[in-house]
Amino acid sequence: MKRYADCPQVLREFLIYHENIKGQSQLTISEYYLDLRMFLRFIKLMRNDMPIQTRLDEIDIRDINLEFIRGIDTTDVFDFLSYLANDRIARPDEVSPDQGIAPSSRARKLSAIKSFYKYLTVRTKQLDENPVADLEYPKLRKSLPKYLTMDQSAALLQAVSGQNEKRDYAILMLFLNCGIRRSELVGLNITDVYEDRIRVVGKGNKERFVYFGSACRKAIDAYLVERNQKILTDNRALFGSRDGNRISVTAVHRLVKKALLQAGLDATQFSAHKLRHTAATMMLSGGVDVKTVQEVLGHENLNTTQIYTHIENTELKIAAEANPLSKLDFSEKM
């Protein structure tokens, strides 16, 4: 836990508990770390009446103890959520960044806070009161996930070029064929590739096998010729970066955006996660039942997968309305 040396002891113990006792994935632990560090920095900023220009990432929270956390009430949490909704800059690198982050991002941070207080009140009983026990999550606008059409998917694959062409093509093929998450792709090792499937470690360190077709196998084989000539710092990794390390989630994000731009697609509307949506939609369009798609995607809850059935129903409705016969009306003859 040296990587969390900038955290107070109580937060480090929470992270250790979720990593070693709950067995949650490193991605989940990292999200807890970032979200709770931001929360505690914000509370300290408000409590200590620091200068208004003080940046959150400049605030040292290593001295925060249980007494400080015991003093946090529901109003403090509301203030933090208000800051996230109205003042937090989501993408500071943009020319004209928007203020306020999306409801889904605020919900994730509130979930981290709720887990933290549940740990302190229920698991370890260090606190008697939970100020967030009854807080509701931000209302999320329900919308159908975006996905690429068959033609757009083909254009994306055909547009791949550059120094890492074989690697990038294999990555896109895995996204579009297997519907895996970015974090799952980053975690793939060479030994996770079998003749017709890959072994994936998903959320909660749960393992599953995902099968792929001959075109995806061909793309992986072409890349492996190149990969086997390289030595990485973590030589187990299936995909490496140009600096010789295991490829990162950020690097995957960038290569997908690059391919989208090369294909003439709107890179602001699509992403690696949208390729996962595309794979799920194509599976359902091809007649795969929703329960099987759930297993392929690694969804714990079937309701998460069923959103794609709404997409499929929408496509079927569009197809029906596009049929010229659907506009003929001879009801008056009946």
Assess contact for 279 and 175: CB atoms under 8 A: yes
Helix (H/G/I), strand (E/B), else coil: 197:
strand
253 part of the active site: no
Of 32, 83, 223, 308, the catalytic one is 308
Phi, psi of 210, deg, nearest 5: -125, 125
- Distance between CA atoms of 50 and 47, rounded to whole angstroms? 8
276 part of the active site: yes
| Best CA proximity match to 115, nearest among 14, 202, 40 | 14
Q: Which residues, other chains included, contact 83 with Cβ-Cβ below 8 Å and sequence gap of 6+?
A: 42
308 part of the active site: yes
141 part of the active site: no
Of 199, 203, 208, 258, the catalytic one is 203
Cα 251–chain centre separation: 14
- Find the helix packing angle between 272-285 and 249-262, rounded to 10°: 70
| Best CA proximity match to 202, nearest among 216, 182, 220 | 182
Instruction: State the number of CA atoms in the 13 A half-sphere of 300 facing the CB.
Output: 5
- Distance between CA atoms of 212 and 178, rounded to whole angstroms? 6
- Distance between CA atoms of 177 and 210, rounded to whole angstroms? 9
233 DSSP assignment:
S
Of 88, 181, 182, 227, the catalytic one is 181
- Find the helix packing angle between 290-297 and 272-285, rounded to 10°: 150
- Distance between CA atoms of 126 and 11, rounded to whole angstroms? 13
Provide the token pair at 277. 């949506």
- Distance between CA atoms of 295 and 178, rounded to whole angstroms? 11
Phi, psi of 92, deg, nearest 5: -65, -15
Q: How many residues does the chain have?
A: 334
Provide the token pair at 244. 């010789």
**Residues belonging to the active site:** 181, 203, 273, 276, 299, 308
